[in-house]
Amino acid sequence: MSKGVVPIGVRFKLRRLQCHKCGYRWYPRKEGKIHNCPSCRSFNWNRGKQVFIKLPVLECPKCKHKWSPYSTKVSECPKCKQRIYKLPEGK
């Protein structure tokens, strides 16, 4: 029996895929890794939608360096080690 040929009467289950970007559903033509959605051509078809959140940004009054408090200690500036910080105005 040659490769890729299924005998008559044998049942097999196809996996149905869905693009998380456009919602298109399809059955793959061949086995293996699927690279992109056939409808929208997105390479991120199997990843959920990304949600971006806005992090507060702190500014050092001495050196004017800006940083996110989740990436370093909030109590001091990572550049000049100044202990006092403030939120940038108008942000």
pLDDT for residue 71: 52
pLDDT for residue 72: 47
Taking the model in full, what pTM does it have?
Answer: 0.40
> What string of pLDDT tens digits covers the 91 residues of the chain?
556 666 676 666 677 888 888 888 888 887 778 888 888 888 888 876 666 677 777 788 888 888 777 654 456 788 888 776 555 555 5
For 67: left if phi > 0, alpha if psi spans -120 to 50, otherwise beta; the answer is beta
Angle, alpha carbons 53-55-61 (nearest 5°): 165
pLDDT for residue 73: 47
Alpha-carbon gap, residue 43 to 26, rounded angstroms: 15
pLDDT for residue 54: 74
Residues forming beta bridges with residue 59, ordered by sequence position: 66, 86
HSE-CB at 46 with a 13 A cutoff on CA atoms is: 7
